Amino acid sequence: KTHKITLIPGDGIGPEVTQAVVRILEATGVKFDWEQFAAGAEAFEIFGEYIPQALYDSIERNKVALKGPVTTPIGGGFKSINVTLRKKFDLFANFRPIKLLPGLNSHWPGVDLIIVRENTEGEYVGLEHEVVPGVVESIKVITEKGSTRIARFAFEYARKHGRKKIHSIHKANIMKLSDGLFLRCARKVSEEFHDIQYGEHIIDNTCMQLVMNPYQYDTLLLENLYGDIVSDLCAAFVGGLGLVPGANLGHDCAIFEAVHGSAPDIAGKDIANPTALLQSAILMLRHLDEEAAADKVQKALETVYSEKKCLTRDVGGTCGTTTFADAVLQAMA
Chain residues in the site for ligand NAI (CB under 6 A):
13, 17, 69-72, 82, 241-242, 257, 260-266, 272-273, 276, 314
CB-nearer residue toward ligand NAI: 203 or 315: 315
Crossing angle, helix 291-307 and helix 14-26, to 10 degrees?
120
Q: How far apart are CA 41 and CA 145, in angstroms?
A: 33
Nearest to ligand NAI by Cβ — which residue? 261
CB-nearer residue toward ligand NAI: 12 or 214: 12
The CB-of-285 to ligand NAI minimum distance in angstroms stands at: 19
The CB-of-264 to Mg ion minimum distance in angstroms stands at: 15
Indicate the SS3 state at residue 149.
Answer: helix
CB-nearer residue toward Mg ion: 175 or 233: 233
Binds 228, which of Mg ion, ligand NAI, none (CB < 5 to 8 A, cut-off by type)? Answer: Mg ion
DSSP state of 312: B
Q: How far apart are CA 124 and CA 164, in angstroms?
A: 30
- From 100, 155, 105, 159, select the one nearest 279 (Cα to Cα): 100
* Site for Mg ion, rule CB under 5 A: 228
DSSP per residue over 238-258, as a string? GTSTTT---EEE-SS-EEEE-
Q: How far apart are CA 250 and CA 265, in angstroms?
A: 32
Binds 72, which of Mg ion, ligand NAI, none (CB < 5 to 8 A, cut-off by type)? Answer: ligand NAI
CB-nearer residue toward Mg ion: 255 or 319: 255
CB-nearer residue toward ligand NAI: 183 or 255: 255
The CB-of-266 to Mg ion minimum distance in angstroms stands at: 17
Nearest to Mg ion by Cβ — which residue? 228
Q: How far is CA 293 from the centre of its chain?
A: 21
Yes or no: say if 2 and 32 are a contact pair by the CB < 8 Å rule: yes
Binds 70, which of ligand NAI, Mg ion, none (CB < 5 to 8 A, cut-off by type)? Answer: ligand NAI
CB-nearer residue toward ligand NAI: 214 or 242: 242
DSSP per residue over 255-310, as a string? EEE-SS---TTTTTTT-S-THHHHHHHHHHHHHTT-HHHHHHHHHHHHHHHHHTSS
The CB-of-191 to Mg ion minimum distance in angstroms stands at: 31
The CB-of-31 to ligand NAI minimum distance in angstroms stands at: 27
The CB-of-314 to ligand NAI minimum distance in angstroms stands at: 4
Indicate the SS3 state at residue 123.
Answer: strand
Binds 272, which of Mg ion, ligand NAI, none (CB < 5 to 8 A, cut-off by type)? Answer: ligand NAI
Binds 181, which of ligand NAI, Mg ion, none (CB < 5 to 8 A, cut-off by type)? Answer: none
